[in-house]
Chains A and B, each alone.
Chain A
């Protein structure tokens, strides 16, 4: 039986305080009504279900918990998450999973601009489309886009790997399409399975860094 918290009656401060020293492992949050910083900074292996739309930074810096948003999420959902799972059944605003270091972020709908910006190890699976500058300066981790990607995908990419099933409007600086090898198909299949998706890995294309901008060279000045 989940512990019920109704954000109409309980301030977000009290909710987060309770989640930081939890006396239960299963939580159900009602009426988030776009509140910011809901369920951020959790350290324990909790199951947190949020019934509605959330504002900025939901599940920010998450460690170990499984946070599910039964609605849409504002800017920076799962930002800098370290581990655990964050799932948004609706759409996510910009900078979803920004700088996140671990765990799995699943967005069943679309994600706006800069999805996975500066990602540092997280796995992100987006059921729909992603906006421009997604995976900008992505350092590590995997971004899977089951729909289309907007402009400048993977701009200034480091070692993050990107898989896109649909079209890519344009690639950013130093991001190139790469051959899909069996190991990539295998890891993609695992990611889709973890995200409970049924797309065929063979329908995706892989993108990564050309590693041409890893050192300052005068020849690169026209690229930036």
Chain B
């Protein structure tokens, strides 16, 4: 019997997921920890449209005229900035949260298209360094696996203050994923539920961060670009402070950004959407006179070339993908549906990255499961996806008459909803109205 067909009405306030959450909490006495990012409906890049050229703008020929994609990150202070072939990078994800095979595949895929990958909480593995042409080394509060040799071996350093899935929260890695190798890299007992710090241990606040960045530059002889990554909250102020502290690149991660293990309540209720954060970041850079001099990388729910083109049009210099990259590797693939169902989930719904029993061999440390992921094949899939993203963005940019992806501009955008118009600071489609302007 389909309840609705008999006039039964589901509560909008107490929907089935809410009822289940209350029942689960009552049974277990603890909160839900899961992977993935915010699942609630949020204003996003789907709420924006690009204005293709017609009479007042001159389009470029799709298969004949160039639309370049290269981007340089970190030239402000670093002797060796990152020169990427396409403005889409792989976001930080840890070995520990992901299998060694998955990390290798991310490196292979990114390298094949000339972009960068990023380490995560837990340090750098030889697999990912060896298979990554460009690697960004995350400098996190926990400093797990942190050592100066890896710092010097990296192509850039990303000081992480937070991530979009949990701004203000530290990392977690549950005991089932703390294998001997992971424990060894993190200097922790095997099998414990690991807590990562939420604050850096040796600096507090932007003035201290400036000195920390100075130290990192001194240790690496001013060769490496220094990124500062923030979870999207008070983005306007955070970006200004990051620039004052000396960042070469600022990374802003919106609340749709993924996680390997975080409390569901945190993922869904802390932070702001990527769409709301990006214009704040651009405004901060513009007011400081460093827009395009300090590059802006935006992440959190980027799913394809359209999101990328719109983010670039709003003023980002590059985007980063995490969840989409894992899906490209094979996460949530229908071929594992039966096994997802055995775990109480299904293909398209699986978010139990914290659990370590990922049938796709990606978010696991189980050797048998991890062996299912062929790093070469998965890397090829990721490279394909990155190429498609780039081609999609080029298609849109050419339609707007742009010979380079970074030539896209806010004027190329309109909004479909009042909310997205207000957040993105672009007019509601068919009007000249940007909510809040001219008042």
Contacts and interface: CB of A to CB of B under 8 A. Distances in A.
Interface of A: 12-13, 16-17, 20, 36-37, 40-41, 43, 55-57, 60-61, 63, 75-76, 79-80, 82, 94-95, 98-99, 101, 114, 117-118, 120-121, 136-137, 139-140, 156, 158-159, 214-216, 218
A98 B220 CA distance: 19
Nearest to A36: B211
B221 A57 contact: no
Given A12-B218, A41-B220, A57-B215, A80 B197 contact: no
Given A139-B187, A159-B189, A214-B192, A60 B219 contact: yes
A82 B211 contact: no
Contacts of B3: none
B78 to A, nearest CB: 14
Contacts of B219: 16, 37, 40-41, 60-61
Chain B's interface: helix, strand, loop or mixed, by majority?
Answer: loop
Interface of B: 28-30, 33, 142-143, 146-148, 151, 174-175, 186-189, 192-193, 195, 197, 201-203, 208, 211-212, 214-215, 218-222
B202 to A, nearest CB: 4
Please name the 7 residue pairs, one residue from A and one from B, whose CB atoms are nearest each other, closest first: A41-B219, A76-B202, A95-B202, A218-B29, A99-B143, A61-B148, A98-B202
B218 A114 contact: no
B32 to A, nearest CB: 12
Of B146, B186, B201, which is in contact with the most chain A CB atoms at under 10 Å from its CB? Answer: B201
B142 A118 contact: yes
A99 B201 contact: yes
Nearest to A215: B193
Given A16-B219, A56-B215, A215-B192, 18 more contacts: A16-B218, A36-B215, A37-B218, A37-B219, A41-B218, A55-B211, A57-B202, A61-B147, A61-B148, A80-B143, A80-B147, A82-B148, A98-B143, A99-B143, A117-B201, A137-B195, A139-B188, A214-B193
A95 B201 contact: yes
Contact of A36 (B142, B148, B192, B214): B214
A158 B194 CA distance: 10
B187 A101 contact: yes
B147 A101 contact: yes
Given A76-B203, A98-B202, A117-B201, A82 B218 contact: no
Of A13, A43, A216, which is in contact with the most chain B CB atoms at under 10 Å from its CB? Answer: A216
B30 to A, nearest CB: 5
Given A56-B211, A118-B143, A214 B221 contact: no
A114 B197 CA distance: 13
Contacts of B208: 56, 75
